[in-house]
Amino acid sequence: MIFVHFCALFVFSSFPNPQTRPKLITQFFVRCDHLNSDCTFALFELPGEQVVIAIRGTRTMSQLFFETMSAFIPDTSFHGLGEPKMKHTRVQNSPKTGKVYVLFYEDDSAFSNFHPAKFEAATVKKLVNSEKFQEEETLKWNCSEQYFMYHKALLVNDQNAAKFIHDSKYPMPMKMAGRKLNMTRNDLEKWSEKSREVMYQACLAKFSQNLELRKLLFRTKGMILVEASGNDAIWGIGIWKEDPRAQNEDSWHGTNWLGIILDKIREELWDKPEFKNEKEEIEKENVETRIMFLEALKDIDNNFENSFIST
């Protein structure tokens, strides 16, 4: 029995011969406390052995996973049997400080960079000092992660990676492409200096151009947005949203750059005259109503089928 964590693509790429590719036996969902997430497990059969693959339970990753299985195992059909839901956003009142924190992480959350959000924005090439990308141009984006990783590729003048990221449909391949960039220590230092401005531009365009997302952002007025990711101590706080320590800033292990940027954008858009009607609409809502909208469990892709029936 072999346990391979996180990505089905890695496993399938190891079996170029169709006769040796894994045969799907079954798959199931389980709560994995040590990963602090719902995980997808799939059991495959190989000649003389079995392979178990575990994947973090974000909807985007699951979608990529099942699409990959469909491509490599054409005799298997995938149908929606349902997936356990967990809150993508938690609104918590700190008993210590009285502050209200909006803790988010999963891509179902409007505040996640993985959340689908179509917008148009110019590439900010002056921010990355790229010699090969001199002219700014307005492009279409499908999520803020795409805009962010595209600019990371610009920093190191990697045209192939930039094109791959812009052509990608899902955020996970974008993120992985950004991680694989060949970056020197100097490049990493430059990106650390400029990345917050790139993220600001991405999120500003995202919420400026999407009404429903902007209204959700406005509903956090008077609250503090927090990316409660246990895996990220830079953009997040290094603690999962289910952890009680997430309600106490003194216990955070990270800097929460993304939350700080979103708070800033909310205040800027809140004061814009063109959004006056939305502002007044949100002001009429009581706190309970705002929290209900923020924590609502809603499919981000109603056509996504995330389970299977073997044929």
Length reported for the chain: 311
Q: Are 240 and 246 in contact (CB under 8 A)?
A: yes
> Is the pTM value of this prediction over 0.95?
no
Please determine, for residue 273, whether its predicted confidence score (pLDDT) is greater than 60: yes
**If you classify domain 89-295 with CATH, what class do you get?**
mainly alpha
Domain boundaries, the chain: 2-85, 89-295
pLDDT-derived band at 17 (thresholds 50, 70, 90) equals low
Q: Residue 53: name the closest of 77, 20, 24 by CA.
A: 24
Cα 147 from Cα 16, distance rounded (Å): 33
Output the average pLDDT for the chain: 77
Q: What is the pLDDT of residue 87?
A: 77
| Structure tokens, 149 | 């990783």
Q: What is the pLDDT of residue 88?
A: 86
The DSSP element (H or E) to which 89 belongs, if any, is strand 89-93
